[in-house]
Amino acid sequence: MNYQSLLIKYAEIGIKGKNRYLFEDALVKQIRFALKPIEGSFVVSKESGRIYANAEAPFELDDAVEALGRVFGISGICPMVQVDDLGFEALKDEVIRYLEQVYPKKDFTFKVNARRANKNYPMTSEEINCALGEAVLNAFPETKVDVHHPQVMLHVEIRSRINLYSQVIPGPGGMPVGTNGRAMLLLSGGIDSPVAGYMIAKRGVVIEAVYFHAPPYTSDRAKEKVVDLARLVARYAGPIKLHIVNFTDIQLYIYDQCPHEELTIIMRRYMMRIAEQIAQKEKCQALITGESIGQVASQTVQSLAATNEVCTMPVFRPVIGFDKQEIVDISEKIGTFETSIQPFEDCCTIFVAKHPVTKPNIHMIHRSEEKLAERIEEMVRTAVEGSEVVVCQ
Ligand code: ATP
Ligand code: MG
């Protein structure tokens, strides 16, 4: 079947009242971006509550569907045929030709669902449904009408031209990126944080990312892996500005000055502080982490509270209540898993103590951090100012 157009359906953004056009415009923008590399020279337009992508050249349906499958805000993708209005007899022929090509086996149940935007059309929707239903039954006697649960719902939309479609390929849902603020993802090379970034982007949030690098304890390959992960998340979230912070001196200083069983918590507190400073500079309103309750010593509820204490911005932890396997399932679905499990050292694990505290005492943590007073502020400033930026897309 040679489709010329895709009708793109959206769900949640349809209920945004007066701001609806903002959501539609953001979605159109994301769709254009996603279809740009696909052959077909698509023209994307919106028209009374729906979005069309019309191809000006032949295109591969699978490629277009794959690209649109990563655009948040889309609930369904309908491959569509548009025909000129050359009278009802011609329309009948077009409908038969459409079903002939799209459904090689004809033993399906169906219903015709006609809608007239062009109220001058000489028949009512009901008359069109009946007449086309009859024409289909005559052409394909193996078919049956089922008005309640049809296998094929044939949509016939009478506008200046006539749209025919019957397939709805599910989209990813969510809201178009760019409609819900901006947040800074703490992106490590693990499984959880890319999933966390994906989940927040899915709600329409533009994301940036920060990675704490500790050369020579962590290699360039570890950094490359994080860039690769940011690129994979960017397939959904749009271009991601990744800030790479050199964390080595801070880590060594903490290692020298503080009790080793508190290292991870204190390190995590400095990560959050630095991430928040960069987030403020970049006009983000929130932070995102891949933390999940109880996964490791630094993610007990007490440890999370101790880490959280240093932030004033809200910290979004979308996988907080997920089991590891549930996070793995999403990472496989979105295509980050294979990269996440490549074995490169992580700056958190290098300095990790044999017996890290699992119930940190916040007063003791404060006292330990006082030992850093002499140099830490300047070190943090140096780390923030010296961060390297890579735009990942
Ligand atoms: P992940 O699989 O996301 O690496 P994890 O199970 O390894 O998570 P931790 O190492 O305790 O857990 O990290 C918890 C969260 O802290 C991560 O999900 C991430 O958001 C952030 N984080 C940890 N290490 C780094 C790092 N080197 N750079 C940036 N963020 C980090
Ligand atoms: Mg990690």
d(C-alpha 173, C-alpha 134), whole Å: 36
Closest listed ligand to the CA of 267: 1
Closest listed ligand to the CA of 327: 1
What is the per-residue pLDDT for 352? Answer: 76
Tell me which residues of the chain have a pLDDT lower than 70: 13-16, 347-350
User: How far apart are the CA of 193 and the centre of ligand 1, in A?
Assistant: 6
Q: Whose CA is nearest to atom 27 of ligand 1?
A: 212
What is the per-residue pLDDT for 164? Answer: 96
What is the per-residue pLDDT for 315? Answer: 98
Of the candidates 246, 242, 256, the one whose C-alpha atom is nearest the C-alpha of residue 197 is 242
What is the per-residue pLDDT for 345? Answer: 75
Whether ligand 1 lies within 6 angstroms of the CB of 191 is answered as: yes
What is the per-residue pLDDT for 118? Answer: 77
Q: Whose CA is nearest to atom 20 of ligand 1?
A: 289
Whether ligand 1 lies within 6 angstroms of the CB of 247 is answered as: no
- SS3 state at 332: helix
How would you classify residue 335: left for phi > 0, otherwise alpha for psi between -120 and 50, otherwise beta? left
What is the per-residue pLDDT for 240? Answer: 98
- Out of 348, 349, 358, mutate this one to test ligand 1's pocket (max ligand atoms within 8 Å of CB): namely 348
Could you say which DSSP state residue 321 is in?
T
Q: Treating both helix axes as pointing N-terminal to C-terminal, what angle do 220-237 and 192-201 enclose, rounded to 10 degrees?
A: 20
Q: Whose CA is nearest to atom 22 of ligand 1?
A: 188
What is the per-residue pLDDT for 341? Answer: 95
The structure's pTM equals: 0.92
